[in-house]
Amino acid sequence: MRVKKLSRFGIAVALFTTFSSMAHAAENKLVLTGSSTVAPLAAEIGKRFEERNPGVRVDVQSGGSSRGITDARSGLADIGMVSRSLKDEENDLKGFTIARDGVGIILNSANSVSALTDQQITGIYTGKITDWSAVGRKAGPITVVNKAEGRSTLELFLHHFKLKASDIKAQVVIGDNQQGIKTVAGNAGAIGYVSVGTAEFEAGQGTPVKLLGMTGIAASVENVRNGSFPLARPLNLVTRDEPSGLVKSFIDFAQSADVHDLIKEQFFVPLGP
């Protein structure tokens, strides 16, 4: 008898908690979809947001910037993630920049080249220029370091130089930024590209790599932040309607100084000081 009563009580408690958590989920859940570049950052911001707002759940799914646009428009996601500037036909959406992403060309410190034009970089990466003597420096074979397919740095690089992934003739293909820096640091004839934040940090630590400026603008975190560095892009959150309630507080949080450390951890550049 007692057992029965207890179990009945247990079921009631279980049902109650289930219902109440479902109700919670419905009103306190944020869904973000889109760019795989923004997704890891959004997931980290989401985690901290959940900590500060008990009961809230932030669900982040990647699938490309175009999915972010589509899902935000259709309402499938509360917030879309887009790792580029919004196009003219997308101005029905509200965009909020949370950080900027910059990619810098790196060379070994022993390399005497101090600047390359866009044409020279394109020539090197498409295999038309294979020796440093062709850009007026001490002769020696060029080792082209490229990123693996699917990486956001590759995407930004290709987009800027108007290339296709299959146009590039590389000698080394790497995964993450660290591997790129190690490869260039160990090869005097190498050229590579990595996130500006990582490269600036490593060069400051004494790693033998140097960042090349582009069209006369130095590759620095500062120039990525103020938008003057050309090989850079904004990381945006987009919504269909003027944000309100939970969506608004999440976007405000993502733009606040409270998440600058998370942005830097992902090698992006926060907008504020």
Partner 1 sequence: MSPSARDARLIWLLSASAVIASGLLLLILLFLAKEAWPVLSHIGAAKFLLDDGWHPTEGTFGLVPMLAASLAMSALAIVLAAPLGVASALFCRFYAPPLIGRIYRWAIILLAGIPSVVLGLWGLTVIVPLIIWLSPPGTSLLAGSLILTLMMVPTVALTTEAALAAVPQSYWSGAAALGLSREGTILGIALPATRASIFAGILLATARALGETMAVLMVSGNVVQVPKSLFDPVRTLTANIALEMAYATGDHRASLFVSGLVLTLLVLALAAAARHTGGQVVHA
Q: Which residues bind partner 1 (CB under 8 A)?
A: 36, 62-64, 141, 143, 148-152, 164-166, 170-175, 179, 182-183, 186-187, 189-190
Q: What is the length of the chain?
A: 273
134 vs 172, which CB is nearer to partner 1? 172
56 vs 103, which CB is nearer to partner 1? 103
In the bound complex, what is the minimum distance in angstroms from residue 127's beta carbon to partner 1? 12
36 vs 122, which CB is nearer to partner 1? 36
Long-range contacts, 148-152 (Cβ 8 Å, 24+):
148/173, 148/174, 148/175, 150/36, 151/175, 152/35, 152/36, 152/37, 152/83, 152/101
In the bound complex, what is the minimum distance in angstroms from residue 134's beta carbon to partner 1? 16
35 vs 220, which CB is nearer to partner 1? 35
The Cα 83–Cα 125 span in angstroms is 24
CB-based contact 157:149 (threshold 8 Å): no
160 vs 225, which CB is nearer to partner 1? 160
53 vs 171, which CB is nearer to partner 1? 171
Q: Position of tokens 């939970």?
A: 246
In the bound complex, what is the minimum distance in angstroms from residue 7's beta carbon to partner 1? 34
Within a 13 Å sphere around the CA of 62, how many CA atoms are in the beta-carbon half?
14
Tokens of 221: 């975190």
53 vs 61, which CB is nearer to partner 1? 61
Residue 134 DSSP one-character state = G
In the bound complex, what is the minimum distance in angstroms from residue 64's beta carbon to partner 1? 7
For the chain, what is the radius of gyration of the CA atoms?
Answer: 23
Distance from the first to the final alpha carbon of the chain: 67
Q: Position of tokens 């130095």?
A: 218
Q: Which residues share a beta bridge with 213?
A: 115
CB-based contact 106:192 (threshold 8 Å): yes
The neighbour count for residue 272, using CB atoms within 10 Å, is: 9
In the bound complex, what is the minimum distance in angstroms from residue 170's beta carbon to partner 1? 6
In the bound complex, what is the minimum distance in angstroms from residue 173's beta carbon to partner 1? 4
In the bound complex, what is the minimum distance in angstroms from residue 83's beta carbon to partner 1? 12
